[in-house]
Amino acid sequence: MIEIKMGEVFDEIKDRDVDVLIIGAGPAGLTAGMYAGRAGLKTVILEKETIGGQLSLTDWIEDYPGFPDGIKAGELINLMKKHAENFGAKIVREEAKKIEVLDGGLKKVITGSGEWKAKAVIVATGAHHRKLGVKGELELMGRGVSNCAVCDGPFFKEKDIVVVGGGDSAVTEAIYLTRFAKKVYIVHRRDQFRAQKIYVERAKNNPKIEFILDTVVTEIKGEHKVEGVVLKNVKTGEIKELSCSAVFVFVGLIPNSDILKGIAKLDDRNAVITNEKMETEVPGIYAVGDVRSTALRQAVTAASDGAIAAMVAESYIAENF
């Protein structure tokens, strides 16, 4: 996909006016861009960070339809980008900071370098990793504390690694980390996992993985880099220390919904509440993917959200402009 540096404007999109402005270039945003572009709408996707969203932080995808043997996450992202490009959607490297609704139903999106006007806005801002909130976590972030196994796993060859969490991300990333680590400990606060059974079974059958259940991390130790963790058994209260060189934290996601606070209704997790058409309470503003209040957060459901929002936006624009 064509990527435009911050502040540049397309010749065919004068005065930064578009039909559909999509905020976020993860699976939801890229799919929305593909469908909106295919509908003949002038479509721009704003992305402030990494194209692919949370998908870019993983290595292997094996549950996306059409790829029975699995696919590299980076390859799937590139295919999504190319598909959107084929239908005219373009990415601009800007951070959306505020959305305003103008007279007549147009929306103004203010960025770090100016503003855009759009007939419809699709918010696909995704989510970010929840913190443990323990001593040493922020101080040692980037020095052994990480939320990205693909990014940082290779730095810890033949080292002991702690993975915190019990969902799909925690278990699959722990399995990935065994490519490098000497030992991987999965620390989970319960004795049951939220992760899919197939992933848990693979982890149990991996000789490099050891489970530490009913346990939480209360401190990450180290002066200049991670040297270990303090663990507490939530049932017995027992405290013990475990030496390790890295801590990978996968304890949930927090929706990046700040741009819609005061505009759309949020649930108790700050996820955006929409109807089945991805519509917020404001006509012409939609929320899709991990930022939306939904029962399942997967690449395939994010893509579905994006497709729905784009098609609903097309009808909205045809009826109102």
Known catalytic membership, residue 151: yes
User: Which residue of the set 19, 152, 168, 290 is catalytic?
Assistant: 152
CA distance 232 to 134: 12
Please tell me which residue in 17, 148, 160, 214 is annotated as part of the active site: 148
Query: Please, what sign has the CA dihedral across residues 287, 293, 298, 304?
Result: negative
Specify whether the CB–CB gap between 70 and 114 falls below 8 A.
no
**CA gap 47, 90 in Å, rounded:** 10
Which member of 63, 151, 191, 267 is catalytic?
A: 151
Task: Kindly report the backbone phi and psi dihedral angles of residue 86, in degrees, each rounded to the nearest multiple of 5, phi listed first.
Answer: -60, -25
63 catalytic? Reply is: no
Are 122 and 309 contacting, i.e. CB atoms less than 8 angstroms apart? yes
What sign results for the dihedral spanned by CA atoms 19, 25, 29, 32? positive
Sorted by sequence, the CB contacts under 8 Å of residue 207 that are 6+ apart come out as none
Active site residue 244: no
Residues recognised as catalytic: 148, 151-152
